[in-house]
Chains A and B, each alone.
Chain A
Amino acid sequence: MIYLDYASATPVSEKAIKAMWPYFNEDFFNPSAPYLAAKHVREDYEAAKAELAHIIGAKGDDLVITAGATEANNLAFSALDVIKTEHKNSQALVLETEHASVLELGKKYQAGLIKVDHTGLIDLVDLKRKLTGNTAFVSVALANNEIGTIQPLAEIAEIIRKERETRLITGNPIPLIFHSDASQALSLIPISVARLGVDLMTLNSAKVYGPKGVGALYQGHQVRLQPISAGGGQEKGLRSGTENVPGLIGFAAAAIEAKAHQNGARKRYESMAKILKAELEKSPVAPAFLGNKKHQLANFCPVSFPGIDAERIIYLLEEEEIYLSTGAACAASKGVKSHVLKAIGLNDAEIAGSLRISLGLQNTAEDMAVAGQRIVAAISKELARY
């Protein structure tokens, strides 16, 4: 098997599985239970949370552990509900290439859309134009989940800081909150919430070789949120429900491990992507590599073969146990065209011919050569049909 869809799911690392294991049957206690054995579980849980928070330069108490990134995004948008209780006309802005969860939340809150350029990079002029005195919430993913474009969060944060300053001077009391979904980026680039200037940040275990269904929201001290579930008051009262102890332990172990290998992995991805691209260049239909060459996650290799039906390529390759994807899995399974590829200005033929290739720790240079050749062979086979 050659798996090239790490942006959609990653295998859980051995270390993470080992770390989680005891918490299923030995140390299974409810962390809120009164006996000492349970207190030890609570301590392990909080320690894991602190370790995870440390990766992004935060404290354990800054995190709210959720059942995945989508839930964390939902919790993040609750900041807007809080603001709206005092400032009815508050509005949100989201990047037009956000993940479905943020985009749908944006729709719910009638958010404005910030444009991107043809590489998927945020149009800062458009942001400035759309940022009004009523804007209370801005959401921009650190890295895009289809083409891997890394956004200049610090620059965005600077624009937001200036706007806050203006509001202070003019006496506009509406707060302005900056949220970023860092699901794809966590294992690949160094992240510091302070340096990036975000108030809320979404993290995702399933993309960093941790278990699925676990995520976290970093909550800056000045941000108030609304509970997304009512109950026993866990997670600072924002996300009630017995803690997913093994889930968080696995998430933290995986994230720490991925971070430790980050630099080496990035270099490997860069050289593997080179091999893959060289093979793809041999395609009878010239490949168009998508995204931003300078600002792209190293493991992303999105590419379009205009005129080819990429879905057919996927079905041909799956027979050879080579797995890759079109667009985002959520979008692809609903049969709708990728909004990301539309936003970067691709036409219908280019969108239909697009493959999302994303590399991961298990890939080898040899995989890249084989996969590249097989993709080209599949394209040739498709061309022969006409």
Chain B
Amino acid sequence: MKTVYVGMSGGVDSSLSAVLLKEQGYHVVGVYMKNWSRDLPGMRCPWAEDLADAKRVAVRLGIDFKVFDFENEYKQKVVDYMLAEFGKGRTPNPDIMCNQEIKFKLFYETAREDGADLIATGHYARVWNDEVKELANQGSILAGGTQAQPAPALLMAKDDNKDQTYFLYRISEEAISHTIFPVGGMLKPDVKKMAAEKGLDNAYKKESMGVCFVGEVGMEDFLKEYFKEQAGPIIDVETGEKLGTHEGAIFYCVGQRHGLNLGGGLPYYVVRKDIKENIVYVSRNLNAKDLWATELELEDIILRPQGAAYDQVFVRLRHRAELIPAQLDGNKLIFEKPVKRPASGQSAVFYRDGVCLGGGIII
């Protein structure tokens, strides 16, 4: 009997994942990953409640339950990385980093050392690897109902609305080879229905969590604890006119149109930031050239399988955004039509035929 360690948050997706794995005959161990949180007066980061929720589900399923404390590593690899990136004026994606460094690296490695053959999470994504091939042969729902050559491969979820491969594109082939996504082949409404049928609806918590360490205050307030506010001009990129004063260029994100406090009328968009001079450039013109791009330069590109090269890919520039055809030339993505330029630090993720081939971080 193979042992699967399931990352459990107490939510419906990971809870049903654990049930399905157990029914398949795996020895299932539920794991709650304790990430970094700010335990300060006036801040609510309810990890203890999440842990209790996850454990409650595990107990009802009659599976073992463990807590992996990744607090220090999460702080270093995710939070510090994120702050450093913001400090450079970029807009990083902490979820992508969390999956790369914590869930599909540290959790994977720790689970393996602890006796796991495989890991599983409640992500909406699919994989094709030796284990899933086996499951597919048995006609198991866990296989996700798709396949890809060559293995191992990361594939989009069956549920387009829920597909989370945008956040998973940087996970290693080794992790992909040893992962099962039990609900990746299901539609979210069916997941809920099945969880209810299995008597889980009373156990799992209804609300899913956001990025815990940011909490409900939002990213801007979080950043203000780490970066000093520094007044600077908001300048209309087209007229050069100073429109107002901002609190520090790093708090603004390209494309943002809220929180500029520039009064009524047509909204202004942030089109560019000059971190060095602390200037935020805005425009009312949705066609302002800074808002659009026909070429994007990338760094830290990952391609699967290892050593592969692609010249034509479909690109996703935001979670759940449409797939746009593009040419991949070295570290450059070239589009036929201009695309709305994502903020520097965000990711461009590559797909072909439902397979997530990798991606890179936009410079």
Q: Is A315 in contact with B59, judged by CB distance below 8 angstroms?
A: yes
Q: Given contacts A334-B48, A335-B48, are A311 and B60 in contact (CB under 8 A)?
A: no
Q: Which residue of B lies closest to A319 (CB)?
A: B60
Q: Chain B residues with Cβ under 8 A from A318's Cβ?
A: 56
Contacts of B62 in A (CB 8 A): 381, 385
A335 touches B51 (CB 8 A): yes
Chain A's nearest CB lies how many Å from the CB of B199?
A: 10
Q: How far is the CA of A333 from the CA of B65 in the complex (A)?
A: 17
Total A-B pairs in contact (CB under 8 Å)?
24
Give CA–CA (A369, B52) in the complex, Å.
28
> Cβ of A267 < 8 Å from any Cβ of B?
no
Contact partner of B59 (CB less than 8 A), chosen from A312, A333, A335, is A312
Q: B64 on the interface (CB 8 Å rule)?
A: yes
**Is A76 among interface residues, defined by CB-CB distance under 8 A?**
no
- Tell yes or no: B246 within 8 A of A by CB: no
Enumerate chain A residues within 8 angstroms of B56, measured Cβ to Cβ: 315, 318
Kindly state the separation between the CA atoms of A346 and B51 in the bound complex, as whole angstroms: 24
B49 CB-CB contact with A under 8 Å:
yes
Q: Could you tell me the distance in whole angstroms from the C-beta of A145 to the nearest C-beta in chain B?
A: 19
Q: Mark B44-86, 1 if CB is under 8 A from A, else 0.
A: 0001110110011001101011000000000000000000000
Determine whether the beta carbon of A311 is less than 8 Å from that of B55.
Answer: yes
| Residue of B55, B59, B62, B65 ringed by the most chain A CB atoms within 10 A | B59
* Complex-state Cα separation, A357 to B64, whole angstroms: 25
A316 at the interface (CB under 8 A from B): yes
Q: Quick one: given A385-B62, A385-B64, are A315 and B55 in contact (CB under 8 Å)?
A: yes
- Chain A residue nearest to B202 (CB atoms) is A319
Interface size on B, residues (CB 8 A): 12
Find out whether the CB atom of B48 lies under 8 angstroms from the CB atom of A316: no
Roughly how many angstroms separate A335 CA and B52 CA in the complex, as a whole number? 9
Check if A316 sits within 8 Å of B59, measured CB to CB: yes
Separation in Å of the B74 CB from the closest CB of chain A? 16
Q: How far is the CB of B115 from chain A (nearest CB, A)?
A: 14
A381 CB to nearest B CB, Å: 8
Taken together as a complex, chains A and B put the C-alpha atoms of A311 and B59 apart, in Å, by 9
Tell me if B60 and A315 are in contact (CB < 8 A): yes
CB < 8 Å: which of B49, B55, B64 contacts A333?
B49
B302 CB → nearest A CB, Å: 36
Tell me the complex Cα distance, A98–B59, Å.
31
B1-57, CB < 8 A from A: 47-49, 51-52, 55-56
- The residues of B that contact A333 with a CB separation of less than 8 Å are 48-49, 52
Please report the C-alpha to C-alpha distance between residue A315 and residue B55 in the assembled complex, in whole angstroms: 8
C-beta contact mask, B316-339 vs A, less than 8 Å → 1, else 0? 000000000000000000000000
Cβ of B59: which chain A residues have Cβ within 8 Å of it?
311-312, 315-316
5 A–B contacts from the bound complex (CB under 8 Å): A312-B59, A315-B55, A316-B60, A335-B47, A335-B51
The 6 closest A-B pairs by CB, nearest first: A315-B59, A335-B48, A312-B59, A315-B56, A334-B48, A333-B48
- Other than the given A311-B55, A315-B55, 20 more pairs (CB < 8 A) read A311-B52, A311-B59, A312-B55, A312-B59, A312-B65, A315-B56, A315-B59, A315-B60, A316-B59, A316-B60, A318-B56, A319-B60, A333-B48, A333-B49, A335-B47, A335-B48, A335-B51, A381-B62, A385-B62, A385-B64
